[in-house]
């Protein structure tokens, strides 16, 4: 054996360089796949966000454009009767759509986190607007209901604004940190108290349909927030019982409910609108009579351009057109739910879930009424029916949902 001599500084430096060079040769082969995978993930996430965003934008835009076309077709007769101008109702809807379009794109650009600052002011303002309906000269009475508030410059429907206010309040309140969703006193009671205040004022108009939608929005957001099922079940049972009591204790509401089971019991009274709607749907057949060629709007179906516009769609576009409308609402429900699941935080999840529930629940109530599956509750078909306040509010909420969709996270997280 050869005795080891002293290690010179040159030898130590040589060994150090050799030891550093060996691992560095193996690193590229190990690190390259992980770097490639990391580089691919942002593009995948961006693609998923773009798909959700574009899908929602296309579906919402399609419904708005279809609504303008069908309102023009369905309202011409009513416009001539009231103003002598066949375009008057369409012009009002077009102005509302233009305003809604601007506000929708503003909402798309605003980070949804900023909306939580409007939660309390929106609730207070909506409650005041609903209370002002009782002031003579401010509330507009139409068809035995006072639902429109005239403040000189504009007139609007406060109950539509109230739905957005409840949405903001519930999303902000339930997304606060350290909020114990299992404690009914700290979560369930405040949200239901706010909902009850709105419901009482809206029922004084009266507007049973919007009251139902408020309740569905509140319960759905509580569910997404993680409220125990037993508490939600008990709350839903109480709500359904109260709704049933209201319906059964009012003669005309009770008759509307019974007419669903036997429309021919009063064909010239409470069942007239439903029977005419079903007739229009049947006449449309598979392909429809063609846009503008339907007869339902000629006084056969009351409120053909607003609450019962789906009957005109089914008559003039047939089952194919009516089915496409239903699929669009189903698509918004599915994509909106995906956006809620992939939202970057709790606030985004609750906003997306509440907005999706609002659109889907209102569409379901309207379609169910027009097709005789549910009693007539007097709510518009979202984004389609004639109604300026409803259209603008729906487009604003769609913009908020689209903003959440732009910020969704990857599905693999």
The predicted-structure confidence for 118-134, as pLDDT tens digits, reads as follows 999 999 999 999 999 98
Query: Residues in the chain, how many?
Result: 413
Q: What is the pLDDT of residue 2?
A: 43
Beta bridge partners of 141: 146
Question: Model confidence at 46, in pLDDT bands (50, 70, 90)?
Answer: low
Q: Does 382 have pLDDT greater than 90?
A: yes
CA–CA separation, 390 vs 213, rounded Å?
13
Quote the pLDDT of residue 44.
52
For residue 26, the model assigns a pLDDT of: 41
In percent, how much of the chain has pLDDT > 70?
87
Residue 93 has pLDDT above 50, yes or no: yes
Average pLDDT over residues 38-49: 56
- Ranges 19-28, 119-128, 179-188, 324-333: which has the least confidence: 19-28
Average pLDDT score over residue span 56-64: 97
Give the mean model confidence (pLDDT) for residues 89-109: 95
Specify the pTM. Answer: 0.86
Comparing 44 with 249, the larger pLDDT belongs to 249
Question: Is the alpha carbon torsion for 319, 369, 202, 240 positive or negative?
Answer: negative
Read off the pLDDT band of 3 (50, 70, 90).
very low
How many CB atoms within 10 Å of residue 140? 14
pLDDT, tens digit (0-9, with 9 covering 90-100), for 323-371: 999 999 999 999 999 999 999 999 999 999 999 999 999 999 999 999 9
Instruction: Tell me what pLDDT residue 40 has.
Output: 45
In order of 69, 241, 286, the CA distances from 93 in angstroms are 10, 37, 28
Helix, strand, or coil (residue 383) = coil
Q: What is the mean pLDDT of residues 211-227?
A: 94
pLDDT at residue 28, rounded to an integer: 40
* 76-to-3, 65, 69, 131 alpha-carbon distances in Å: 110, 17, 11, 34
Report in angstroms the alpha-carbon separations of 211 from 109, 257, 292, 365: 31, 17, 34, 12
User: Residue 45's pLDDT is what?
Assistant: 57
The pair phi, psi for residue 155, each rounded to 5°, is -125, 140
Which residues lie closer than 8 Å to 145 by C-beta, 6 or more apart? 205, 206, 207
Mean pLDDT of 173-197: 84
**Whether residue 14 has pLDDT greater than 60:** no
What pLDDT, on a 0 to 100 scale, did the predictor assign at position 266? Answer: 76
CB 134 within 8 A of CB 102: no
Q: Per-residue pLDDT for 313 more than 80?
A: yes
Mean pLDDT over residues 204-229, rounded?
Answer: 92
Tell me the pLDDT tens digit for each residue of 246-305.
989 888 888 888 888 888 877 777 788 889 999 999 999 999 999 988 888 888 888 889
pLDDT at 34: 46
Sign of the dihedral through C-alpha 112, 189, 354, 406 = positive
Query: 226: phi > 0 → left, psi -120 to 50 → alpha, else beta; which?
Result: left
Give CA separation, 175 vs 116, 340, 398, 408, in Å. Answer: 10, 13, 20, 17
| Signed CA dihedral, 151, 395, 325, 316: sign only | positive
pLDDT above 90 covers a percentage of the chain that reads 57
Specify the DSSP class assigned to residue 263. G
The mean pLDDT value for 215-244 works out to 92
161-189 mean pLDDT: 86
Q: How does the average pLDDT of the chain come out, rounded?
A: 86
Q: Give DSSP secondary structure letters for 112-153.
A: GGGGGGGHHHHHHHHHHHHHHTTSTTTEEEETTEEEEEE-SS
Contact 253, 226 (CB under 8 A): no
What angle is formed at CA 290 by the lines to CA 288 and CA 295, rounded to 5 degrees?
A: 85
pLDDT at 270: 75
> Which of these, 170, 220, 171, lies nearest to 197 by C-alpha position?
170
Could you give the CA distance from residue 203 to residue 212 in angstroms, rounded to a whole number? 10
The answer to whether residues 392 and 98 touch, using CB atoms and an 8 Å cutoff, is no
Q: Which of 378, 351, 358, 356 is nearest to 366 (CA)?
A: 378
CB atoms within 10 A of CB 400: 24
């Amino acid at each position: 054996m050869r005795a080891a001599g002293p290690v010179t500084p040159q030898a130590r430096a040589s060994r150090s360089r050799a030891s550093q060079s060996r691992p560095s040769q193996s690193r590229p082969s190990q690190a390259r796949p992980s770097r490639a995978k990391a580089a691919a993930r942002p593009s995948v996430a961006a693609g998923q966000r773009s798909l959700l965003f574009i899908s929602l934008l296309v579906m919402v835009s399609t419904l708005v454009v279809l609504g303008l076309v069908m309102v023009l077709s369905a309202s011409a007769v009513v416009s001539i009767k009231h103003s002598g101008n066949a375009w008057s109702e369409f012009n009002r809807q077009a102005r509302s759509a233009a305003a809604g379009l601007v506000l929708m794109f503003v909402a798309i650009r605003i980070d949804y986190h900023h909306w939580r600052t409007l939660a309390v002011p929106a609730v207070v303002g909506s409650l005041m607007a609903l209370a002002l309906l009782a002031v003579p000269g401010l509330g507009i009475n139409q068809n035995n209901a006072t639902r429109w508030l005239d403040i000189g410059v504009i007139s609007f429907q406060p109950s539509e604004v109230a739905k957005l206010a409840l949405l903001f309040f519930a999303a902000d309140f339930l997304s606060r940190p350290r909020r114990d969703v299992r404690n009914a006193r700290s979560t369930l009671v405040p949200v239901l108290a706010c909902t009850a205040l709105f419901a009482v004022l809206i029922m004084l108009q009266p507007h049973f349909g919007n009251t139902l939608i408020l309740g569905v929005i509140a319960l759905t957001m509580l569910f997404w927030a993680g409220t125990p099922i037993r508490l939600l079940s008990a709350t839903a049972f109480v709500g359904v019982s109260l709704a049933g009591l209201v319906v059964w204790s009012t003669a005309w509401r009770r008759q509307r409910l019974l007419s669903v089971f036997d429309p021919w019991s009063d064909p010239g009274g409470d069942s007239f609108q439903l029977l005419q709607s079903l007739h229009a749907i049947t006449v449309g057949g598979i392909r429809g009579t063609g846009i503008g060629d339907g007869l339902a709007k000629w006084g056969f179906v009351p409120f053909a351009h607003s609450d019962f516009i789906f009957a005109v769609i089914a008559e003039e576009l047939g089952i194919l057109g009516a089915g496409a409308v239903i699929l669009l609402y189903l698509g918004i429900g599915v994509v909106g739910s995906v956006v809620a699941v992939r939202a970057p935080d709790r606030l985004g999840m609750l906003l997306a879930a509440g907005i999706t529930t609002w659109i889907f629940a209102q569409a379901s109530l309207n379609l169910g009424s027009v097709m005789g599956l549910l009693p007539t509750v007097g709510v518009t078909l979202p984004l389609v029916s004639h109604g300026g306040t409803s259209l603008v509010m729906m487009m604003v909420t769609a913009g908020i949902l689209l903003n959440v969709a732009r910020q969704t996270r990857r599905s693999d997280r």
